[in-house]
A and B are shown apart, each in its own frame.
Chain A
Amino acid sequence: MLFLLAVVAALWFLLALAPAFAELWLRRDAASPTLSDEYEEDLRRAAARFEARVRPHLDVLREAGEDAPPSMPGIHVLCSETAVRTARMMLPPAPYLLSPAREWRLPPRFILDRELYAPGRLRCGPESDLFAVFGEEEIDLGPGSMVRRWLHGRGRVTAARGTRLHGNASSESALHLAAGCAFERLQAPAIVFGGQARGASPQNRKSGARILYRPRGCFHETAARTYVRGDLHVPERHRLEGNVVVTGRLRLGAGAHLTGSLKAHGDVIASEAVIIDGSLFAAGDVRLGARSLVRGVVSAEGALVIETGVRLGAPEHPTTVSGARVHIAAGVRAHGVVWALEAGLVTDATGRAPRRTPGRAHPASDAGPRARREKPARAEKAETERNGA
């Protein structure tokens, strides 16, 4: 009897462990996660995959010339204006491929809910609403347009006033964003915000800071780094050499020049015409004054405000600029990547947000559904959805 009781008790105990033993035996979730072959943040991955998918169809179309078939398996070919106008009614849902024979001008308020491949130049009318676009040549987005997932152009990409670019927008030539555009991630050899700034380019401007500044009460720990406890204010036209770490806030006077990289635990406020040869990291907000120049990475965990005439990176040394909320004034030029983790907005040259387009929400106030990012690592899948990072 006692033995039976012991057996029953043991079985009762093991019953709780049954799912564990079942998983151990069946190994249904035992595989190691796969690592990505690409850099997680390579903005052009989705576009490259789409191009590879469409390329065979495009080759068939180009070989066929005038005899191009109106439909191909797995893709809708848009050969005429009528086909473009009725594109949304095509079934089953599939990506769209514009005929390569001509330059395309999409009608106003044109809406597509699948990827669009444009072999030639593409001009979108006002308030177009596109899912994702790949262009082999130039792409012009009309005022108030929106791209929901990604946008990639081999040629120059131009976004008119009020355009909203969700997800990744990249170009192999240049990106031009007018004032009032909202964005998340931009990548191009040259990114021009709101047209060219007036005055001399700071790339070629020589530093006027001739006086070497030595902060007081700091700890020179190594020859390569200055560690400042508390706030630091670099006076106008002074030069600070080497890397600097500031545990408080940092203020850079007009014309100040930092030859190394910079890290501040608080906010960073740079006045006009400041030059930073290295990188700039801040745990708080960052404001870069007009006509400043940062050659390295700019990373703000808070807001990043960039005034007109600022240059970020150089054509031969592209860089990354990131912040939680990024406001960039017209007249700024960046080389590399600009990433607004929460929301990015191009303001006018005075730093003010442009007036709302009638009948539409302000681009910056409507981040919309965040772009689906290509994340092969299972580790961050749920996390990204939760944080929107």
Chain B
Amino acid sequence: MEIQRKGLIRRWRVVLFCMAGCLAAPGFAAPGAPPRAPDSTAAHLRTRHAEANAPWDVVVEEPLRWRETFPAERSGWIKGLIVTLYLIIFLLCVYTARHYVFTFNRLFGRQRHPYVPIDTTDWPPVTVLIAAHNEEAVIRNILEALLVVDYPEDRLLIMPVNDRSTDGTRAIIDAYAARHPERIRPFHRTDGKPGKAAALKDAVALVETELMLNFDADYLPGRPLIKQLVAPFLDPEVGAVMGRVMPANTPRNLLTRLLDLERSGGYQVDQQARMNLGLIPQYGGTVGGVRRSALLSSGGWRDDSLTEDTDITCRLLMNGWKVAYSNWYECYEESPEEWPVRIRQIMRWARGHTDAALRYTARIATSKHLRLRERVDGVLLLGVYLMAPVLLLGWLTAIALFYLGLQTMHGVLALLAVAAYNTIGNYAAFFEIAAAVHLDGASRRLRLLPLILFGFLISMISASRAALSQFHPRVRRKDIVWDKTKRYRHRKPDPPSDP
């Protein structure tokens, strides 16, 4: 009750602040009423009459000038609001341009898949880590999928990392390990810090191979995926590899269909374009892998990070390693089917990402191992989730300025609207998604694009809350709480049969 009351007070405080701002502003006018002209010579709209000998009176609306719109007496925080709005619009325009560059590159540019041709080589030994916490509904599927992949059996070790599961996960893993003792070596974690990063950190100590691939337990790799993910590691500069994630439960409901579109835009256009342009593809923590020596030389997994993938991406880059990505390396995942689950997921991502932004933005921007364009892209990538609150702030600022009587910034507001439309979304703007769906050759699902606005708005508000909370010192000091994503693969957890 107390918490609700505080929340209510906080919301009213924002409204009162805006109202007080309006009342305090000189030149305040109620909505709908014409703005009061200042006492100075300029009016908001200056009317100029034509020459006296003209046959009729011509009224010309002259464009506003800065001095006329914002006279000297409107100083202080009004100017601050205006500067803030311009700054926000500038940021939004930068992200808009970035999205356009990526989209046009994917549609018309040269595509880079330097490791895709590698299909014959002396395949190196590799360990596949499967982080699993209460995954009895899905763990069997990924084990079965990994047992039939196209990779030399004597060079592939599967290591399920059972992180303090309290359901039947352990029994299922042990049953499979008993049947394939040479191929499956489970790691049962019974204590220690919670979370995927902490579990992986402990597991790395047991890994004997130079290459490690990571999958979440709900993923379903295809037969060729291991070879595809290992091939880029033959390049001594590659520290991590990332593949494309595709939802397997797309037809389920509106949310899964919208997530399918969003994933499509994020991977098909965004990630691949960054690979094409020599920028920074992001290692996503699953459907990917890390070189052990690169990981250890970069400090290993951080168990105090909610997004260990973004964290390790930054540290690998700062140590001179590269992340490789290709759309060809495809893998199924199970996307959230309920909005609360999705909101929790995106809030976790936003918190972790913002945490990484606070840690690494300055270091990425000044890293000696990165080229200028990589540094710029790295900074923009780290700021992706911060754009949600920035956009909200832009809208609020524009509304506040409107009610302050500054109703004539049509150009600026139009720019804000266009930039917002082109920037909104976590990773992919609308036209990126449209391009991705076009590249995927799936035309009908493109019709769902208008509905994605609702998903974006929900994501934006969630991401804003989570990102802003990271700036609060009390939140930053608090121990992280790992929020496990719910699974929907309804399957009775019966004892495993012979695979």
> In whole Å, how far is A76's beta carbon from the nearest beta carbon of chain B?
33
Residues of B within 8 A of A341 (CB): 117
**Total contacting residues, chain B, CB less than 8 A:** 59
Q: Which one of B120, B254, B369, B449 lies within 8 Å of A336 (CB-CB)?
A: B120
The reply on B441 being an interface residue by CB < 8 A is: yes
The reply on A365 being an interface residue by CB < 8 A is: no
The reply on A262 being an interface residue by CB < 8 A is: yes
User: B236 near A263 (CB under 8 angstroms)?
Assistant: yes
Question: Which residues of A, 244-272, contact B by the 8 Å Cβ criterion?
Answer: 244-245, 260-263
In whole angstroms, what is the CA distance A227 to B318 when docked?
Answer: 13
User: B447 near A389 (CB under 8 angstroms)?
Assistant: no
> In whole Å, how far is B204's beta carbon from the nearest beta carbon of chain A?
15
Residues of B within 8 A of A261 (CB): 234-236
Question: Which residues of A, 330-353, contact B by the 8 Å Cβ criterion?
Answer: 336-337, 339, 341
Q: Interface segment, A4-12, A38-46, A195-203?
A: A38-46
In whole angstroms, what is the CA distance A216 to B159 when docked?
Answer: 41
Residues of B within 8 A of A292 (CB): none
Using known A-B contacts A262-B236, A299-B114, determine if residue A38 contacts B150 with beta carbons closer than 8 Å.
yes
Which single residue of chain A is at the shortest CB-CB distance from B294? A222
Residue-wise, chain B 42-85 has the 8 Å CB interface mask toward A (1 for contact) of 00000000000000000000000000000000000000000000
The reply on A19 being an interface residue by CB < 8 A is: yes
Residues of A within 8 A of B319 (CB): 221
**Total contacting residues, chain A, CB less than 8 A:** 64
Question: Which residues of A, 262-316, contact B by the 8 Å Cβ criterion?
Answer: 262-263, 278-279, 281, 283, 296-297, 299, 301
In whole angstroms, what is the CA distance A296 to B121 when docked?
Answer: 7
The reply on A29 being an interface residue by CB < 8 A is: yes
Residues of B within 8 A of A210 (CB): none
User: A40 near B228 (CB under 8 angstroms)?
Assistant: yes
Q: Which one of B121, B246, B250 lies within 8 Å of A318 (CB-CB)?
A: B121
In whole angstroms, what is the CA distance A221 to B316 when docked?
Answer: 12
Chain A CB count within 10 A is highest, among B150, B327, B447, B449, for B447
Which single residue of chain B is at the shortest CB-CB distance from A299? B114
The A interface is mostly helix, strand or loop, or mixed, namely mixed
Residue-wise, chain A 9-47 has the 8 Å CB interface mask toward B (1 for contact) of 000000011011011100111111101111111110000
Q: Which one of B111, B250, B369 lies within 8 Å of A31 (CB-CB)?
A: B250
Residue-wise, chain B 212-253 has the 8 Å CB interface mask toward A (1 for contact) of 000000000011110110000011110000001011111100
Residues of A within 8 A of B111 (CB): 383, 387, 389
In whole angstroms, what is the CA distance A22 to B446 when docked?
Answer: 12
The reply on A378 being an interface residue by CB < 8 A is: yes
Residues of A within 8 A of B234 (CB): 261, 278-279, 281, 296-297
Chain B CB count within 10 A is highest, among A22, A39, A322, for A39
User: A221 near B297 (CB under 8 angstroms)?
Assistant: yes
User: B116 near A379 (CB under 8 angstroms)?
Assistant: no
Which single residue of chain A is at the shortest CB-CB distance from B225? A35
Question: Which residues of A, 197-233, contact B by the 8 Å Cβ criterion?
Answer: 219, 221-225, 227
In whole angstroms, what is the CA distance A341 to B121 when docked?
Answer: 18
The reply on A320 being an interface residue by CB < 8 A is: yes
Q: Which one of A243, A382, A389 lies within 8 Å of B439 (CB-CB)?
A: A382
User: A32 near B119 (CB under 8 angstroms)?
Assistant: no
> In whole Å, how far is A261's beta carbon from the nearest beta carbon of chain B?
4
The reply on A377 being an interface residue by CB < 8 A is: yes
User: A319 near B444 (CB under 8 angstroms)?
Assistant: no
The reply on B330 being an interface residue by CB < 8 A is: yes
Which single residue of chain A is at the shortest CB-CB distance from B235? A281
User: B236 near A32 (CB under 8 angstroms)?
Assistant: no
Residues of B within 8 A of A378 (CB): 440-442
Residues of B within 8 A of A263 (CB): 235-237
Which single residue of chain B is at the shortest CB-CB distance from A35? B222
Q: Which one of B224, B237, B251 lies within 8 Å of A40 (CB-CB)?
A: B224
Residues of A within 8 A of B237 (CB): 245, 263, 281
The reply on B21 being an interface residue by CB < 8 A is: no
Residues of B within 8 A of A22 (CB): 447
Using known A-B contacts A29-B442, A261-B236, determine if residue A297 contacts B121 with beta carbons closer than 8 Å.
yes
The reply on A187 being an interface residue by CB < 8 A is: yes
In whole angstroms, what is the CA distance A22 to B225 when docked?
Answer: 35
Question: Which residues of B, 318-358, contact A by the 8 Å Cβ criterion?
Answer: 319-320, 327-328, 330-332
In whole angstroms, what is the CA distance A198 to B52 when docked?
Answer: 100
Using known A-B contacts A17-B450, A19-B447, determine if residue A35 contacts B442 with beta carbons closer than 8 Å.
no
User: B447 near A30 (CB under 8 angstroms)?
Assistant: no
Question: Which residues of B, 267-293, contact A by the 8 Å Cβ criterion?
Answer: 268, 293
Residues of A within 8 A of B369 (CB): 227
- Provide a sorted-by-A list of 6 A–B residue pairs whose CB atoms are within 8 angstroms: A20-B447, A23-B448, A29-B444, A32-B249, A36-B223, A297-B118
Task: Give 4 closest A-B pairs by Cβ, nearest first.
Answer: A29-B444, A243-B236, A35-B222, A30-B251
